[in-house]
Amino acid sequence: MNKRMTARSVVAELRDGMTIGVGGWGARRKPMALVREIARSPLTDLTLVTYGGPEVGILCALGKVKKLVFGFVSLDLIPLDAHFRAARQAGKLPDVMEIDEGMLQWGLKAAMIRVPFLPCRAGLGTDVEALNPGLRTVESPYDDKEVLMAMPALELDAAIVHVDHCDERGNGQVLGPDPYFDDLFCGAAKKRYVSCEAILPTDEMTNQGCIHSMVLNRTLTDGVVEAPLGAHPTACVPKYGIDLEHLKEYSATAKDAELWSAYKAKYVDVDHDAYVNAVGGVERVGQIPAPIF
């Protein structure tokens, strides 16, 4: 079995109007090479489901996002994403499903295990309930009769995630400290695409980290894409940290159309190899230390 794909062939399988889940968290281990491939494509009207980072701002700035399902959008070391803010404040992204972070993983889990909803308390009594009239509550069928939030399954057409290593069969390894919810994003999606720093022979991969690092088994993946620095400018610890310098440059372009078009020409409208060169290559990025929060 060989699940190797290119970023371009991944994006060729996506369609306008799809609901796409994006793995990682904020400015950490985002599948940015795949996001930039989407940015270069004609895809539009996308619904993004995400613990949001710069992918939200970039795709909003290009007018590709119809709806956002999120708990936050943050660049971590920079609290807010300037392009996401600009889109929201200009009225270009009125359709949002803003929910608690825990509700989001619960919705993914429900989709993964094929139940229509999972109960929780998060969201009750807040404007998450008031502003999302589609959310329903459920009464416990047991004697307690407690009324709970029925977090609906967040079914995804596709998921994109970035990990350290994959093998050709689609097993994926995360060497960083937190697997986030990448397995749930994959589990909730019909098509699952994983970019990685390197595709390795299986035994070489499993020798590099403890068994707990093998967070994606191959039932959760359809395609693997080798993309060194594929999470940049977000972190892929231990290989590289968050590129704060780059995120500052990216953020500054939200206030000026010319700056944004220069950024886009230099970093978005180029293939991945050219991107890696433009950001200083593995030599520079590999020296960015893990972030301290």
Q: Do strands 156-166 and 189-199 pair parallel, antiparallel, or not at all (unpaired)?
A: parallel
Q: Which is nearer to another protein, 178 or 245 (CB)?
A: 178
* 240 interacts with another protein by CB under 8 A: no
Q: Which of 1, 42, 130, 133 binds another protein (CB under 8 A)?
A: 130
Contact flags string 67-106 toward another protein, x per CB under 8 A: ---xxxxx----xx---xx--xxxx--x-x-xxxxxx-x-
**Minimum distance, C-beta of residue 163 to another protein, in the bound complex (Å):** 15
With CB under 8 A as the contact rule, the residue among 77, 122, 175, 282 that binds another protein is: 122
Tokens (6 digits) for 228: 């060194």
List 20, 34, 111, 128, residue binding another protein (CB under 8 A): 128
What's the rounded Cα separation, in Å, for the pair 156 and 19? 5
The closest alpha carbon to 158, from 44, 68, 49, belongs to: 49
* Residues 30 and 24: beta-carbon distance below 8 Å: yes
E strands along 39-188, which residues?
46-52, 65-73, 96-98, 117-120, 136-139, 147-152, 156-166, 172-173
- Label the pairing between strands 147-152 and 96-98: unpaired
Site string for another protein, 135-174 (x = CB under 8 A): --x-x-----xxxx--------------------------
In the complex, the residues that contact another protein under the rule CB under 8 A are: 25, 52, 70-74, 79-80, 84-85, 88-91, 94, 96, 98-103, 105, 120-128, 130-131, 137, 139, 145-148, 177-181, 291-293
